[in-house]
């Protein structure tokens, strides 16, 4: 939720952020007006309450002959108080709705625009080449490789669960587990506490993290239980400290959530239908951080560095982009995507991202800290993926050999116990 003080003191700054995201600045004017109405309703209610309390004392002191008329007047005043109280409830509901339409304030320097307006920050690693003499038909895609290795079974995934589901089997399952364990070791070395969170959450948690806005159609909901399946462990990890005051005297609180994730992939019909690049169900190791807002940008840089170290250790070529404001999602104030080169697509594809959500989620979930023993303030929250199923796409295609075998990156070998993935007989 946007900072109410910022909205009142500098609405033009909030308008610029909304405009950069592609939203009408009118949302800010409506929120300012709703806030004024809410405060006016509270003031009117409090004034009437004070009158009621004072009148009650008058009634108590009145003589028996006077009380009958005063009691009738008191009843009328009580009705006005009840009406004023309801007006406060209505005004607060309207203000909450108006505030909810304002997304997180973007950080200075975030490019304006939509999905195609990102800024490329750097490229790391050369584009993999495949000698036509060895690959006369070009490199195999990850699904062809996965089938040769007995690692990916999309046909049975569709038979059992429908489109965009798969079975990872044999070395495919082992490869994903090895990748996740490698990521977990990276997280442990950086001071993260591992957590296996629930993957079903209550509506207030999903709403608080900002996932029930424009992209609510991506979320699976169990209507009979009024619970949501999470698309990232960011959601339960953000809710973990809901309504709490945290101790940040020892520095950031870092969690690494290992979970299965679910996304409906609504609106992606016809996109990435082959293979495992866009599934309804996948596994993910997610970094999540609570920190002093003053340190949030530095922590964001650290999260990105750990992601890059993982991709470099896996021998993947990639680029880092600064995502444009209109493609951030409601909670993120800045997001960096790391996109790896996928040889058979001849393009960089997103493997991981990291977002600085500043105090937006913490305000919605009432997560605070007490700097220097003073007044409580919202913490900052950040997230970033350290390993996920999609990484197998770039891993298999980049390190393939002409016979369909795949060389295991050296950094991954201790977790897998194999140097080469061989085609099954």
Catalytic residues: 263, 278, 350, 353, 390
Backbone angles phi, psi at 123, to 5 degrees: -120, 145
User: Which alpha helices (DSSP H) does 22-124 contain, by range?
Assistant: 26-61, 64-100
- Alpha carbons 418 and 425: distance in angstroms, whole number: 17
Buried b / exposed e along 141-156 (16+ C-beta atoms within 10 A): bbbbbbbbbbbbbbee
Cβ-contact 420, 407 below 8 angstroms: yes
Degrees, nearest 5: CA angle 242-247-251? 115
Coil, strand or helix: which one is 410?
helix
Radius of gyration of the chain (CA): 27
- Alpha carbons 264 and 279: distance in angstroms, whole number: 8
Q: Which conformational region is residue 307 in: left (phi greater than 0), alpha (psi within -120 to 50 degrees), or beta?
A: alpha
Question: CB under 8 Å to 238, separation ≥6 — which residues?
Answer: 205, 208, 209, 288, 361, 365, 381, 383
- Alpha carbons 217 and 268: distance in angstroms, whole number: 11
- Run of H or E residues at 391: helix 391-398
Q: Would you tell me how many other CB atoms lie within 10 Å of the CB of residue 52?
A: 15
């Amino acid at each position: 939720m946007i900072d109410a003080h910022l909205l009142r003191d500098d609405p033009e700054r909030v308008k610029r952020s909304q405009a950069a995201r592609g939203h009408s600045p009118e949302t800010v004017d409506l929120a300012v007006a709703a806030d004024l109405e809410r405060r006016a309703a509270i003031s009117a209610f409090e004034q009437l309450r004070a009158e009621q309390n004072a009148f009650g004392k008058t009634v108590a002191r009145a003589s028996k002959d006077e009380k009958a008329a005063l009691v009738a007047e008191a009843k009328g005043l009580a009705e006005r108080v009840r009406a004023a109280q309801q007006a406060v409830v209505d005004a607060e509901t309207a203000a909450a709705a108006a505030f909810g339409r304002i997304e997180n304030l973007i950080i200075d320097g975030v490019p304006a625009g939509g999905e195609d307006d990102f800024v490329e920050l750097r490229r790391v690693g050369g584009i993999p080449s495949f000698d036509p003499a060895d690959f006369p038909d070009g490199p195999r895609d990850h699904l062809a490789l996965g089938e040769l290795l007995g690692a990916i079974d999309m046909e049975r995934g569709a038979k059992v669960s429908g489109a965009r589901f798969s079975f990872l089997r044999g070395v495919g399952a082992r490869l994903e587990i090895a990748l996740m364990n490698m990521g977990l070791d990276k997280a442990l070395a950086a001071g993260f506490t591992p957590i296996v969170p629930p993957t079903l959450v209550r509506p207030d948690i999903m709403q608080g993290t900002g996932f029930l806005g424009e992209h609510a159609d991506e979320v699976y909901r169990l209507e009979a239980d009024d619970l949501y399946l999470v698309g990232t462990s960011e959601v339960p990890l953000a809710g973990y400290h809901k309504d709490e005051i945290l101790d940040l005297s020892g520095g950031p609180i870092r969690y690494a959530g290992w979970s299965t994730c679910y996304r409906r992939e609504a609106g992606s019909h016809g996109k990435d239908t082959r293979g495992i690049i866009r599934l309804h169900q996948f596994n993910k190791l997610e970094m999540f951080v609570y920190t002093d807002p003053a340190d949030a940008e530095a922590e964001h840089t650290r999260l990105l560095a750990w992601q890059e170290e993982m991709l470099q250790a896996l021998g993947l070529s990639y680029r880092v982009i600064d995502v444009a404001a209109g493609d951030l999602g409601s909670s993120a104030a800045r997001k960096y995507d790391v996109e790896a080169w996928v040889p058979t697509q001849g393009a960089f594809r997103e493997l991981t991202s990291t977002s600085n959500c500043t105090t937006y989620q913490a305000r919605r979930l009432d997560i605070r800290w007490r700097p220097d023993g003073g007044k409580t303030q919202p913490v900052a929250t950040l997230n970033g993926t350290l390993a996920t199923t999609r990484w197998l796409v770039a891993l298999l295609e980049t390190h393939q050999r002409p016979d369909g075998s795949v060389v295991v990156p050296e950094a991954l070998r201790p977790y897998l116990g194999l140097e080469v993935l061989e085609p099954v007989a």
